[in-house]
Structure 1
Amino acid sequence: MFKTLGLDERLIKALDAQTITEPTDVQKAVYDTALSGKDLLVMSETGSGKTLAFLLPLVQRILTEPTSNSGTLALILAPTRELAKQLLAETKLILKFTKLRVGIISGGDDYKFQAAQLRKDPEIIIATPGRLLEHFNRNLPAMDKLRVLILDEADRMLDMGFHDDMVAITNKLTKARNTWLFSATLSHAGVGTLAGELTNKPEKISLSTGRQTQANIHQQVVLSDGQNHKQKTITQLLRTVPYEQALVFTNTRVQVDHLCQFLRAQEIKTGAIHGDMAQEDRNKVMELMRKGHVKVLVATDVAARGLDIGGIELVINFDMARNGDDYTHRIGRTGRAGAEGHAISFITPQEWNLKAGVERYLGTNFEIITIPGFESRYKGPEKVKSSGKAAGPKKVDRKASQERAAKKKDKDNKVKVRDRDQKNIGKRRAPAKGPDLGDGFAPPTIAKKRPPLKDSEDA
Structure 2
Amino acid sequence: MDYSQLQLDETLFKGIQEAGYVTCTPVQEKVLEVSLDGSDLYVQSQTGTGKTAAFLVTIMQQLLNGGKANSKNGLVLVPTRELAVQVEEEAEKLGKHTDLTMASFYGGVGYEKQIEKLQKGVDIIIGTPGRIIDLNTSKKMNLSKVGYLAIDEADRMFDMGFYPDLRKIVKHLPDSTDRQTMLFSATLNSYVKNLAWEYTKDAKEINIESQNITVDEIDQELIHVSSDDKMRLLTGILSREHPESLIIFCNTKKMCEVLSKRLELNGIKNEFIIGDLPQSKRLKIMNAFKAGKLNCLIATDVAARGIDVNDLAMVINWDLPNEAENYVHRIGRTARAGKSGKAYTFCSEQDVYSLMPIERYIEKQIPSRIAYEEDFGEDLSKDKWIKTGSWKDEEGAKKH
TM-score after normalising by structure 1: 0.55
Contact 1:320–1:354 under 8 Å retained in 2: no
Q: Sort the Cα spacing of 1:156 and 1:343 in 2 relative to 1 into closer, same or farther, 3 A.
A: farther
| Amino acid aligned to 2:172 | K
What SS class does the counterpart of residue 245 from structure 1 fall into? strand
| Amino acid aligned to 1:131 | R
Q: Please list, as runs of the form range in 1=range in 2, the aligned pairs for 1:68-147 lying within 5 A after superposition.
A: 68=69, 70=71, 72-147=72-147
In structure 2, the partner of 1:308 is 302
Does 1:332 find its partner at 2:329?
Answer: yes
What SS class does the counterpart of residue 158 from structure 2 fall into? helix
In structure 2, the partner of 1:214 is 213
What SS class does the counterpart of residue 157 from structure 1 fall into? helix
Contact 2:40–2:201 under 8 Å retained in 1: yes
1:337 and 1:95 map into 2 onto residues whose CA distance is 32
In structure 2, the partner of 1:20 is 21
The count of residues paired between Structure 1 and Structure 2 equals 311
Q: Sort the Cα spacing of 1:171 and 1:106 in 2 relative to 1 into closer, same or farther, 3 A.
A: same
Deviation at 1:214, TM superposition (A): 2.4
What SS class does the counterpart of residue 140 from structure 1 fall into? coil
In structure 2, the partner of 1:191 is 192
Deviation at 1:124, TM superposition (A): 1.0
Q: Sort the Cα spacing of 1:141 and 1:16 in 2 relative to 1 into closer, same or farther, 3 A.
A: closer
List per-residue Cα deviations over 1:288-311 (Å, max 9, x = no partner). 32563589xxxxxxxxxx962528
1:119 and 1:221 map into 2 onto residues whose CA distance is 50
Contact 1:213–1:328 under 8 Å retained in 2: no
Contact 2:73–2:147 under 8 Å retained in 1: yes
1:92 and 1:355 map into 2 onto residues whose CA distance is 30
2:237 counterpart (237, 240, 263): 240
List per-residue Cα deviations over 1:353-376 (Å, max 9, x = no partner). 9999867x7xxx9997999989xx
Q: Please list, as runs of the form range in 1=range in 2, the aligned pairs for 1:22-421 lying within 5 A after superposition.
A: 22-65=23-66, 68=69, 70=71, 72-175=72-175, 176-183=178-185, 185-186=186-187, 190-209=191-210, 213-214=212-213, 218-220=217-219, 239-240=236-237, 242=243, 243-246=246-249, 285-289=252-256, 292=260, 308-310=302-304, 314=315, 327-335=324-332, 343=343
Q: Sort the Cα spacing of 1:329 and 1:160 in 2 relative to 1 into closer, same or farther, 3 A.
A: farther
| Amino acid aligned to 2:155 | D
Q: Sort the Cα spacing of 1:318 and 1:354 in 2 relative to 1 into closer, same or farther, 3 A.
A: same
2:79 and 2:358 map into 1 onto residues whose CA distance is 26
1:179 and 1:147 map into 2 onto residues whose CA distance is 9
Q: Sort the Cα spacing of 1:53 and 1:120 in 2 relative to 1 into closer, same or farther, 3 A.
A: same
Contact 1:309–1:333 under 8 Å retained in 2: no
Deviation at 1:90, TM superposition (A): 1.5
Contact 2:105–2:128 under 8 Å retained in 1: yes
Contact 2:218–2:343 under 8 Å retained in 1: yes
List per-residue Cα deviations over 1:124-183 (Å, max 9, x = no partner). 111121111111111234322211111122222222222222221111111121221224
Q: Sort the Cα spacing of 1:214 and 1:161 in 2 relative to 1 into closer, same or farther, 3 A.
A: same
Deviation at 1:16, TM superposition (A): 2.3
1:373 and 1:240 map into 2 onto residues whose CA distance is 12
| Amino acid aligned to 1:330 | Y
Contact 1:217–1:334 under 8 Å retained in 2: no
| Amino acid aligned to 1:31 | L
What SS class does the counterpart of residue 147 from structure 1 fall into? strand
Q: Sort the Cα spacing of 1:80 and 1:373 in 2 relative to 1 into closer, same or farther, 3 A.
A: closer
Deviation at 1:69, TM superposition (A): 5.6
Contact 2:68–2:123 under 8 Å retained in 1: no
Of 193-202 and 43-52, more deviation after overlay is shown by 193-202
1:41 and 1:193 map into 2 onto residues whose CA distance is 11
Contact 1:220–1:366 under 8 Å retained in 2: no
| Amino acid aligned to 1:116 | E
| Amino acid aligned to 2:41 | L
1:294 and 1:190 map into 2 onto residues whose CA distance is 48
What SS class does the counterpart of residue 182 from structure 1 fall into? strand
Higher relative contact order (CA 8 A, sep 6+): 2
2:131 and 2:253 map into 1 onto residues whose CA distance is 22
- Gapped runs of 5+ residues in structure 2? 264-299, 347-355, 374-400
2:17 and 2:333 map into 1 onto residues whose CA distance is 20
What SS class does the counterpart of residue 184 from structure 2 fall into? strand
Deviation at 1:335, TM superposition (A): 3.9
Deviation at 1:116, TM superposition (A): 2.5
2:360 and 2:67 map into 1 onto residues whose CA distance is 51
1:319 and 1:113 map into 2 onto residues whose CA distance is 31
| Amino acid aligned to 1:133 | I
In structure 1, the partner of 2:278 is none
Contact 1:146–1:174 under 8 Å retained in 2: yes
1:372 and 1:141 map into 2 onto residues whose CA distance is 51
Contact 2:218–2:334 under 8 Å retained in 1: no
Identity %: 30
Of 154-163 and 144-153, more deviation after overlay is shown by 154-163
Deviation at 1:27, TM superposition (A): 1.1
2:109 and 2:358 map into 1 onto residues whose CA distance is 39
In structure 2, the partner of 1:5 is 6
Contact 1:47–1:336 under 8 Å retained in 2: no
2:255 and 2:182 map into 1 onto residues whose CA distance is 34
Q: Sort the Cα spacing of 1:64 and 1:294 in 2 relative to 1 into closer, same or farther, 3 A.
A: farther
2:140 and 2:358 map into 1 onto residues whose CA distance is 46
List per-residue Cα deviations over 1:80-122 (Å, max 9, x = no partner). 2222122112111222222121122122333122123223332
1:354 and 1:90 map into 2 onto residues whose CA distance is 26
Higher-Rg structure is 1
TM-score after normalising by structure 2: 0.62
1:294 and 1:197 map into 2 onto residues whose CA distance is 53
Contact 2:215–2:328 under 8 Å retained in 1: no
